[in-house]
Chains A and B, each alone.
Chain A
Amino acid sequence: MQPQVLTMNSPDTAKAAPGFATRYKRFSQSPVFFPLIGLVLVCIAMALTTEHFFDPDNLVNIARQVSVNAIIAVGMTCAILSGGIDLSVGAVMALAGTLMAGLMVGGMPPEAAIAIGLGVGLLFGVANGFFVAYAGMPPIIVTLATMGIARGIALIYTGGYPIDGLPDWFAFFGSGRVLGLQAPVLIMLLVFVAAYVLLDHTPVGRYIYAIGGNEEATRLSGVRVPRYKLLVYGLSGLTASIAGLVLTSRLMSGQPNAGVSFELDAIAAVVMGGTAISGGRGSIVGTLIGAVMLGVLNNGLNMMGVSPYVQNIIKGVIILLAIYISRERTKRR
């Protein structure tokens, strides 16, 4: 005991520049360590088996393909960190996208149409949050129900058919370029930076982790837990509708059936990124790595010409493996 107390009292030793070994040790304990190794391994495997994996065009392609899932996964990360989950994201994305498309085609100013689309996504999230936080219902049930509702509204609104004929400039969000960067990739990065700041540098982020870590202790310490849970689901709805904006713009079409099972891809990205499915532990950077890992897999398997049926199996196995490793790691702590 004694020497430990000493360390606290002597800032010199604590602040001494850490050697390589210490720094490596610290890094190896960081939540992104294993996801990063996983990503490197997957990249090496793809580079060895496909010819053009490291071509700049292909890498840009991967980044763009990843963006929609990654944006959704940001909200999902918040939900899972807080000890919950949001199954409605795929359907909310489709609803937001079709609404934007429909309103624009119907003659509404595009800015207003986009705002309404995003607003409805946010609203759905807030509704999820209300049922979870204030009515005390289990998130998995609530979001399963709203998933059906959002999908149903999207189908009724569109009559089941895609909405085409969007103004040309709207393609910007899906295929435009800013400073040489693909617009979807830029949007994705902005969303991640915002989420990183929120989760790692603001009280709200700390509360989200705390609620997932021990909700009762957080509540008894005086944190107003329900309002932060509401916020978490609101955020998830918002990121889902941002993904809807990107996807609709890329397809130049409002698809009521878009995003089926996207919630599962988002969950996969989150857990492959090292976030504990039980909440309280994880990181947003990990989620980005997890989403990229999934994207690289998709891309590589496609380039190899692997049948989509087989791809499902391979992805499933890799997800199991990734989660097994991260579980082993938490056990050792």
Chain B
Amino acid sequence: MSQSHNQTILTLEHISKSFPGVKALQDIHLSVNRGEVHALLGENGAGKSTLMKILCGIHQPDAGRIVFDGAERQFERYNDAIAAGIGIIFQEFSLIPDLNAVENIFLGRERTNRAGLLSKAEMRHRAAMIFDRLGIDIDLTVPVRHLSVAEQQFVEIAKALSLNAKVLVLDEPTATLTPSEAEHLFSIMRELKAHDVAMIFISHHMEEIFAVCDRITVLRDGQYVGTTDVATTDVDALVEMMVGRRLEQSFPPKPARNPGARKVLEVRALQRYKHDPVNRFDLHEGEILGFAGLVGSGRTELARAVIGADPAHRKEVWLNGKPVKLNNAGDALAQGIGLLPESRKTEGLILDFSIRDNISINNLGKYQRVGPLIDQGLEGRTTVDVMRQVGVKAPGPGTRVGTLSGGNQQKVVIARWLNHHCKILIFDEPTRGIDVGAKAEIYNLMRRLTAQGYAIIMISSELPEIVGMCDRVAVFKQGAIVTVLEDDAIESNEVMRHATAGSHHEFA
């Protein structure tokens, strides 16, 4: 697959970038051809995001050059890159929730008629053409907040295309999609390929990379490792390039199940709204109970209702054999139940706070020595201990949490609960968006905790994780727990069969 020179649309050469105290990128190369889907692979913190921010003008490189469409370019700011024909779909969407798809696509460059009024029909027509071309059928008239996450992503893509993007960067686009939605996205990507649009695809899912990508460039610790054709490589080789050592995504061994384990949490009835299904489940000491199911099947909602973070129509919860009232997360904390929320940035962490302040936020009473005053020395020392316990890698307890990688941020949230006396932990997508190495560390940490008698509920959309980690699995479908699997029954196809019940979904 030798590509002739004029097919190259974008080349990044010798890109280096330092931030105070950190060499973020060193001598990075990336070359993308027209109509190519090029995967950018690397653990979190490897420098993928920084590289993409340099490409789109958010950061300026210290050294190196960008050649785009045959000319050397310097993008002073984001808008320059957009105008030149680089489209970026960030993980956090840039859509205005209350505007519809058409209004979003033409935001800032609305078409007007001679009287200076909006030509709504024209804009709508042009938008419809783009969606037609992509084979996307969505309602263009409703505010985008009524669209699903996948549909919003399609709107973002359409917006980029309406700007004549020649290179499209997709930053973990599938992280929040269901398998069938992801499949739809891939078919759109193939369509774009046929129209000669080049794509840079960032994903942690190997099978996705093998499904849609042509070539792969791997970064590790801010350095260029290599570029390879998808056709001539395999998962093991890629993982080795990423982590620099052979590392199979292995799970710690499951201990034998203890049938006599005490029930620590009994949800005897939980109904969110009046006509919703009534769910019940138990959680035993020392076990990991999985909540499996498709995205949107009601797992997070049920977990939040249990701890009182969201209201419930009917709720009977027993803790250690006694009924308890859990009306808010504060009540749950008082009873020793902690939640690691689905979105660590918006629900888990106070990004402006230091590691120390994030960990101790719900347990400050522990550090009071004189009256109401916090002993900050003691607080700092304890934080260092807890950080070591869960393996947070950072310069120190005073480091701002917003500057940490995803895996370290997740560990900070976990540390918050371990620092408290919580023995029941609910982990909602604990490994979403974090790299292979950090995942393994979190898995090991979970097993260490259960060995100490902690009980964990793990909500996960990653089937291997559910199968590899859970002692029992509650499978959700449309808001209801349809079955609870144990032992050998915990197996990918079995879980999927219950989650989809007859329909022919593929788990990504």
Q: Does B197 contact A (CB under 8 A)?
A: no
- B347 contacts A220, C-beta separation under 8 Å: yes
With A203-B364, A206-B357 as contacts: A280 and B352 at CB distance below 8 Å: yes
For the complex formed, measure the closest distance between the CB of A295 and the CB atoms of chain B, giving whole angstroms: 30
A250 at the interface (CB under 8 A from B): no
Closest to A204 in B: B372
Given A214-B349, A280-B350, 7 more contacts at CB 8 Å?
A4-B394, A4-B395, A203-B374, A209-B357, A222-B332, A222-B362, A223-B362
**B64 within 8 A of partner (CB):** no
Judge whether A224 and B374 touch: CB under 8 Å: no
Residue A51, interface by CB 8 Å? no
Query: A8 near B351 (CB under 8 angstroms)?
Result: no
Residue B368 at the chain A interface, CB threshold 8 Å = yes
A8 with B396: CB separation less than 8 A: yes
Within 8 A of B (CB), among A1-57: 1, 4-5, 7-8, 14
Write the chain A residue with the least CB distance to B405.
Answer: A1
**Given the complex, which residues of B lie within 8 Å of A311, measured CB to CB?**
none
Inter-subunit contact B393/A5 (CB<8 Å): yes
Contact string, B338-351, partner A, CB cutoff 8 A, digits 1/0? 11010000111111
Roughly how many angstroms separate A61 CA and B48 CA in the complex, as a whole number? Answer: 58
Tell whether A306 is near chain B: CB-to-CB under 8 Å: no
How far is it, in angstroms, between the C-alpha of A222 and the C-alpha of B365 when the chains are bound? 13
Q: Are B346 and A222 in contact (CB under 8 A)?
A: no
Find the B residue at minimum CB distance from A216.
B347
Sort chain A's interface into a size bin: 20 to 34
Q: Can you pick out 13 interface pairs between chain A and chain B where the beta carbons lie within 8 Å of each other?
A: A4-B394, A14-B396, A206-B374, A209-B357, A210-B350, A210-B353, A210-B357, A213-B350, A213-B351, A217-B349, A218-B361, A221-B362, A280-B350
Q: Mark B376-399, 1 if CB is under 8 A from A, else 0.
A: 100000001001100001111000
Q: How far is the CA of A78 from the CA of B96 in the complex (A)?
A: 31
Chain A residue, CB-CB nearest to B360? A206
Cα A14 to Cα B394 with chains together (Å): 13
| Interchain nearest-CB distance for A3 vs B (Å) | 9
**A209 to chain B: which residues have CB within 8 Å?**
350, 353, 357
B346 & A214 in contact (Cβ 8 Å cutoff): yes
- In the bound complex, how far is the Cα of B365 from the Cα of A224, in angstroms? 14
**Nearest opposing residue in chain B for A280, CB measure:** B352
Determine the chain B residues whose CB is within 8 A of the CB of A210 once the complex forms: 350, 353, 357, 361
Q: Closest residue to A1 on the B side, CB-wise?
A: B393
Check: B309 CB closer than 8 A to any chain A CB. yes
Chain A residues, Cβ within 8 Å of B121? none
Give the chain B neighbours of A206 by CB distance below 8 A: 357, 360-361, 364, 374
A7 touches B396 (CB 8 A): yes
User: CB within 8 A of B346: which of A203, A207, A217, A221?
Assistant: A217
CB nearest to A203 among chain B residues? B364
Whether the Cβ atoms of B374 and A201 lie closer than 8 Å is yes
Smallest beta-carbon distance A74→chain B, Å:
18
Bound complex: CA A1 to CA B376 (Å): 26
Q: Are B373 and A224 in contact (CB under 8 A)?
A: no
* Across-interface contacts of A218 in B (CB, < 8 A): 350, 361
Q: CB within 8 A of B339: which of A7, A14, A220?
A: A220
Task: Check B373–A7 contact: CB distance below 8 A.
Answer: no
For the complex, give the distance between the alpha carbons of A203 and B347 in Å.
20
Chain B contacts with A in 433-465, Cβ cutoff 8 A: none
Question: Counting CB contacts under 8 A, is B55 at the interface?
Answer: no
Asked if A329 is an interface residue, CB under 8 A from chain B, the answer is: no
Which residues from chain B contact A14 at a C-beta distance below 8 Å?
396
Residue numbers in A under 8 Å from B372 (CB-CB): 202-204
Is the CB of B176 closer than 8 A to any CB of chain A? no
Cβ < 8 Å to B, chain A residues 173-211: 197, 201-204, 206-207, 209-210
Also in contact, A223 and B330, with CB within 8 A (given A1-B221, A7-B396, A197-B373): yes
Query: Could you tell me if A224 and B350 are in contact, using CB atoms closer than 8 angstroms?
Result: no
Let me know if A217 and B374 touch, CB within 8 A: no
Whether A327 sits at the interface, judged by CB under 8 Å, is no
On chain A, the residues within 8 Å of B338 by CB distance are 222
Given contacts A203-B364, A221-B362, A222-B338, contact A8 B394 (CB under 8 A): yes
Asked if B365 and A203 make an inter-chain contact with CB atoms under 8 angstroms apart, the answer reads yes
A280 to B351 Cα, complex, angstroms: 10
Q: Which residues of A contact B350 (CB under 8 A)?
A: 209-210, 213-214, 217-218, 280
Contact assessment for B329 and A214 in the assembled complex, using a CB-CB cutoff below 8 Å: no
- Tell whether, in the assembled complex, residue B361 and residue A4 are in contact, meaning their CB atoms are under 8 Å apart: no
User: What residue of chain A has the Cβ atom nearest to residue B338's Cβ?
Assistant: A222
Q: Does B9 contact A (CB under 8 A)?
A: no
Q: For A7, what are the chain B residues with a Cβ–Cβ distance below 8 Å?
A: 395-396
Tell whether A220 pairs with B357 under 8 Å between CB atoms, given A7-B395, A210-B350: no
Q: How far is the CA of A29 from the CA of B441 in the complex (A)?
A: 34
A186 to chain B, nearest CB (A): 23
Per the 8 Å Cβ criterion, residues 308-356 of B in contact with A are: 309, 328-330, 332-334, 338-339, 341, 346-353
Q: Does B416 contact A (CB under 8 A)?
A: yes
A315 within 8 A of B: no
